Structure 1
Amino acid sequence: MTTSAAGAEPAGGLKPVTTRVMNLAHFLTRNARRFGDRPGLIWGERQWSWRELDAATHALCAALAARGIGKGDRILVHSKNCGEMFVSMFAAFRLGAVWVPTNFRLMPDEVAYLATSSGAKGFLCHGDFPDHAAAVAKESKTLQFTWRIGAGSFGETTLTEAIAAHRGQRVPDAVVDRDDPCWFFFTSGTTGRSKAAVLTHGQMGFVVTNHLADLVPGSTEADASLVVAPLSHGAGVHQLVLTARGAPTILLPTERFDIDEAFRLIEKHRVTNIFTVPTILKMLVEHPAVDQHDHSSLRHVIYAGAPMYREDQKTALAKLGKVLVQYFGLGEVTGNITVLPTYLHEEEDGPQARIGSCGVERTGIQVAIQNDAGEELKPFETGEICVIGPAVFAGYYENPEANAKSFRSGWFRTGDLGHMDEEGFVYITGRASDMYISGGSNIYPREIEEKILTHPAIAEAAVLGVPDAVWGEIGVAVCVARRPVDENELAGYLAEKIPRYKMPKRFFFFEELPKSGYGKVPKRLVRDELERRGLLDFVRTPGGSV
């Protein structure tokens, strides 16, 4: 398995005697010993103690091993948040296999591509997604079995049945080295095509330690975390962090984001921390439920994934108190680039408010603002934000071209543009790519453009993100049509081809797209033309084409 992106021989030719590290599943072993009867996972009316979670993980490991899963094998998981998904992570870790979770909102063909590109041997699929299971089975050349999570009629067995059949069996933690993969974290980077960022046991051990130090300092088994995002990505990392402390994770009872229920759970379980994105945080503090439930237990409300408007920051601070923690970090650095802690969040404007900053370097991490030649720039000069440190991933799985573009002299290139002030506070000012962030999710225009262009009436298409007070940014599509077509027709056509969160908010139709002297369609020219025509004023106005 080729994963390494960059490296160098240690000084003097010295090499460590061993690179063996703790298997991340040991967190469960430790919790079962120390906090066996305490809750580790709460989902609706169901609670699992740490002892039960550890036993279920051992049983699932035994079942997977009997089906041929071993060290280095990839296990694809497409599921909504649930107890089985929680257990599947630690089962993969314990076997030395690789956990390969997907965003459950992806379309069947997208999940099939992830199965193929990762070389997944097993597929654990939620019962609500039979079309995804069929697509993976059809496209994958490496898949050997599909097991179902929950109700449904596909798969050779269910996780519940597999665990029950092997209950009581114990599987020793696989011996793992620092660079052994444990998680494929899918990210599209700047290309729009999903790539598997390889996270390793050693790297994730550092990430957990860093999150505990910088995001939720002082956490113990007495804390509790509410999950309001899919466990497949950042929320899964945060859940791993709380597991390291023996604190329970609380899942919303359904995939629907019920704000009143969220505050009810915060009050009931005395929740101390939440990992979220600015869009969700804005919804939480603007909902009447914030004034109807006791949320005084909250100490750390962590937001990431997109910048947060200053007025929204003020509202959140006024409603929740001085509990906000912002961090900046990509999947490739597992969230570990900068942090703006609680004490640096000021409700009143002024020099101490650090308005617009995403914070300072994380513990053990170094950030540099570099020009195109890789030279470090002076304070306040704009360049690419680059990072080095133990949280940086091992590289993209079997993608040397992407690795070559993403690393330079050992530095990981984030693709984000920004500057640093004289005290080391980082400010993100733009992105090197056309990618935009809507509701905390990265949206890649090329992927959507390609789907639009499959409509027989569309000759050309350009998608770009524009500012939005609710979602941070929303998508706008500008198209050239061969025949009359309106927004409703095009949106209906795309509804079966892309997830709802990727759907452009508006579709505009031009006779031609603005082009450069080389025949390309720069997004800046499209944006300028939208501005010139005054169309951006209509972006949030429903109706047909303008």
Structure 2
Amino acid sequence: MSRAGAGGGIVPASTRAMNLSHFLTQAARRHPDAVAFVWREKVWSWRQMEARVDALAAALRDQFGIAKGDRVLVQSTNCNQMFESMFACFRLGAVWVPANYRQSPDEIAYLAEASGARGMICGAAFPDHARTCRERAPDLRFVLSIGASGFGEDIDIAIDRHLGRTVPAAAVDRDDPCWFFFTSGTTGRPKAAVLTHGQMSFVVTNHLCDLMPGTTHEDASIVVAPLSHGAGVHQLAQVARGVKTILLPTEKLDVPTVWSLVEKWRVTNLFTVPTILKLLVEDQSVDRHDRSSLRYVIYAGAPMYRSDQKKALEKLGPVLVQYFGLGEVTGNITVLPPAFHSVGDGPQARIGTCGFERTGMQVEIQDDAGNPVPAGDTGEICVIGPAVFAGYHDNPEANAKAFRNGWFRTGDLGHMDEEGFVYITGRASDMYISGGSNIYPREIEEKILAHPDVSEAAVLGVPDPLWGEVGVAVCVVRPGADAAAIDLAAWLEDKLARYKLPKRIIWWEEMPKTAYGKIAKKQIREELDRRGDLAAPGKKTSA
């Protein structure tokens, strides 16, 4: 990049960017004694958070040798130390590498190897993860423990030893990495999407602009999803506005506790995924607590079925905000604000859409050759803009597949209407071909979930000797309902074209889900195979 000089020549322009840890410094300057972070019985002010992050950065630098560009792997459930580790890494110009804590020791060791992690911060409850990473990751020099353990120094002891130290934020450029955001690995090994300081500054600004306009230091946000992924991005945006963050005191989602904390702290926003939002509004505790403080209930990560959307609106009012965006685009593809959510099915409801383009981003629906398709036609959803990641770490093959003519290819199929609203049909990998016709599971799942006794549904294409592939629907009934009494085939008969009807309907007690609350179709397929149901005859079986 360049700019015009005083004499009309061209001189290099600076690519220097703000170090993301400066968001915390700003909050501590403006609101030093205000509540910053709440977890269990502990409350920290912004001044205290800034001091602890400085101390942790000093420990990582002076005691363990972490420098700019080094990667630090974090294996932990949500806690204040995990949140602090993000800012300490940013401050040093190091790269924060948070893991899905529910993964196995071998899976986490792969992340340590793939990222080239120099250090690891690991919850005391995961000694096997720490041991396996030490054995497998040649670059790993130390492990800090969150809590007392036998595998590393307690991180709080290291922080206490360095309290009072001040660590200046490392100078960073716009494209310097700050976060390795590992993909879920649904089609193979997880890949490290490289997020940068400049990119994330845009993302934070965009989140505040499009998802939570008007957010100030008087707001409060509750965390109901792992900080390692979308919730961590959401909370980074909260710090930028001095918003207090409340963590759940329990590792697992406890819905009554969520609503009691919403009432106690007058929570104004939260980020979640559709399956968790469904649990929140269907639990009886939602009616026992004051939730009137909520202004933005933001959901993403997977489509929300219309039946669940209506229930959430009936319980919470016009506070729903949907966004669509992969980790590689840090959530910044589309937004559907509260004004476009409606209990009624009129034109304002925009049923089935994930919204319109985020500020500063451009979306295009493309055919297989990379050409834009007409409004209403189905193609791959592609995107350009400052929120797009820098590429996958040390993975040129994946980068070549992910980008075409400068556009990031999401792998999601959909269409855009004349007004710019985007509609997701499903993942390209979910689509199957039956008798020569393309079948998109999302459409079928929507029809199934309109049945009053069906709680969850997933449709997959499976091999068939006659048709090539046919659909199998795996469903879960609502509490109190009897699967044997549901004739789902008859229910669907006049709602879908005959070739789209699932050839088998299988009832399970529960669906496998990822750590982030998404229904895990890869695991469903593996379980179907294990049970012998991929080739089983008949229309209906029970778990």
User: TM-score of the superposition, structure 2-length normalised?
Assistant: 0.81
SS of residue matched to 1:61: helix
Name the structure 1 match of 2:145.
148
Structure-2 change in CA distance of 1:246 and 1:291 (3 Å):
same
Residues of 1 paired with 2:343 and 2:526: CA distance? Answer: 35
**Alpha carbons 2:3, 2:12 under 8 Å: kept:** no
SS of residue matched to 1:183: strand
Structure-2 change in CA distance of 1:98 and 1:351 (3 Å):
same
1:57-206 alignment runs, 5 A limit? 57-66=53-62, 67-155=64-152, 157-188=153-184, 191-206=187-202
Structure-2 change in CA distance of 1:258 and 1:182 (3 Å):
same
**RCO comparison, higher one (Cα < 8 Å, 6+):** 1
Per-residue CA distance 1:423-446 (angstroms, 9 max, x = gap):
0000010211249999xxxx9x9x
User: Which one of the candidate residues 256, 260, 268 is aligned to 1:272?
Assistant: 268
Residues of 1 paired with 2:372 and 2:3: CA distance? Answer: 24
1:432-443 alignment runs, 5 A limit? 432-434=428-430
**Alpha carbons 1:364, 1:389 under 8 Å: kept:** yes
User: Which one of the candidate residues 11, 32, 36 is aligned to 1:36?
Assistant: 32
Name the structure 2 match of 1:425.
421
Residues of 1 paired with 2:96 and 2:273: CA distance? Answer: 24
Residues of 2 paired with 1:273 and 1:466: CA distance? Answer: 35
**Alpha carbons 1:190, 1:415 under 8 Å: kept:** no
**Alpha carbons 1:115, 1:140 under 8 Å: kept:** yes
Kindly provide the amino acid, as one letter, of the partner of residue 68 in structure 1. Answer: G
Structure-2 change in CA distance of 1:357 and 1:402 (3 Å):
same
Structure-2 change in CA distance of 1:363 and 1:470 (3 Å):
farther
Residues of 2 paired with 1:400 and 1:81: CA distance? Answer: 32
User: Which one of the candidate residues 215, 221, 234 is aligned to 1:225?
Assistant: 221
Per-residue CA distance 1:417-465 (angstroms, 9 max, x = gap):
0000000000010211249999xxxx9x9xxxxxxxxxxxxxxxx9x99
Residues of 1 paired with 2:223 and 2:136: CA distance? Answer: 33
Per-residue CA distance 1:100-134 (angstroms, 9 max, x = gap):
00011011000000000000000000000001001
Residues of 2 paired with 1:465 and 1:324: CA distance? Answer: 31
User: Which one of the candidate residues 284, 288, 295 is aligned to 1:292?
Assistant: 288
SS of residue matched to 1:368: strand
Per-residue CA distance 1:74-104 (angstroms, 9 max, x = gap):
0000000001001000000000000000011
Residues of 1 paired with 2:283 and 2:304: CA distance? Answer: 17
Residues of 2 paired with 1:353 and 1:305: CA distance? Answer: 20
For structure 2, the residue ranges without an aligned partner over 5 or more in a row are: 432-440, 446-457, 461-468, 479-517
Residues of 1 paired with 2:391 and 2:529: CA distance? Answer: 40
Name the structure 2 match of 1:369.
365
Kindly provide the amino acid, as one letter, of the partner of residue 216 in structure 2. Answer: T
SS of residue matched to 1:358: strand
Name the structure 1 match of 2:392.
396
1:528-543 alignment runs, 5 A limit? 533-535=537-539, 537-538=540-541, 541-542=542-543
Name the structure 2 match of 1:344.
340
User: Which one of the candidate residues 409, 434, 437 is aligned to 2:405?
Assistant: 409
Deviation at residue 150 of structure 1 after TM alignment: 1.3
SS of residue matched to 2:178: strand
Name the structure 1 match of 2:512.
none
Kindly provide the amino acid, as one letter, of the partner of residue 410 in structure 1. Answer: G
**Alpha carbons 2:3, 2:13 under 8 Å: kept:** no
Deviation at residue 9 of structure 1 after TM alignment: 9.2
**Alpha carbons 1:98, 1:183 under 8 Å: kept:** yes
Kindly provide the amino acid, as one letter, of the partner of residue 49 in structure 2. Answer: L
RMSD: 3.0
SS of residue matched to 2:307: helix
Per-residue CA distance 1:445-486 (angstroms, 9 max, x = gap):
9xxxxxxxxxxxxxxxx9x99564689xxxxxxxxxxxxxxx
Name the structure 1 match of 2:515.
none
Residues of 1 paired with 2:350 and 2:112: CA distance? Answer: 43
Structure-2 change in CA distance of 1:261 and 1:326 (3 Å):
same
Residues of 1 paired with 2:129 and 2:260: CA distance? Answer: 34
User: TM-score of the superposition, structure 1-length normalised?
Assistant: 0.81
Percent of aligned pairs with the same amino acid: 63
User: Which one of the candidate residues 291, 303, 308 is aligned to 2:299?
Assistant: 303
Name the structure 1 match of 2:241.
245
Name the structure 1 match of 2:465.
none
Per-residue CA distance 1:173-208 (angstroms, 9 max, x = gap):
000000000000001466321110000000000000
Residues of 1 paired with 2:247 and 2:10: CA distance? Answer: 47
**Alpha carbons 1:339, 1:360 under 8 Å: kept:** yes
Tell me if 1:315 matches 2:336. Answer: no
Residues of 2 paired with 1:391 and 1:104: CA distance? Answer: 26
Residues of 2 paired with 1:69 and 1:49: CA distance? Answer: 27
**Alpha carbons 1:61, 1:95 under 8 Å: kept:** yes
Residues of 1 paired with 2:183 and 2:165: CA distance? Answer: 36
SS of residue matched to 2:353: coil
Per-residue CA distance 1:507-527 (angstroms, 9 max, x = gap):
4569999xxxxxxxxxxxx6x
Kindly provide the amino acid, as one letter, of the partner of residue 226 in structure 1. Answer: I
Kindly provide the amino acid, as one letter, of the partner of residue 24 in structure 1. Answer: L
Name the structure 1 match of 2:254.
258
Name the structure 2 match of 1:208.
204
Structure-2 change in CA distance of 1:465 and 1:223 (3 Å):
farther
**Alpha carbons 1:190, 1:433 under 8 Å: kept:** no
SS of residue matched to 2:193: strand
Kindly provide the amino acid, as one letter, of the partner of residue 96 in structure 2. Answer: W
SS of residue matched to 1:385: strand
Residues of 1 paired with 2:335 and 2:2: CA distance? Answer: 31
**Alpha carbons 2:92, 2:169 under 8 Å: kept:** yes
SS of residue matched to 1:282: helix
Residues of 2 paired with 1:220 and 1:102: CA distance? Answer: 30
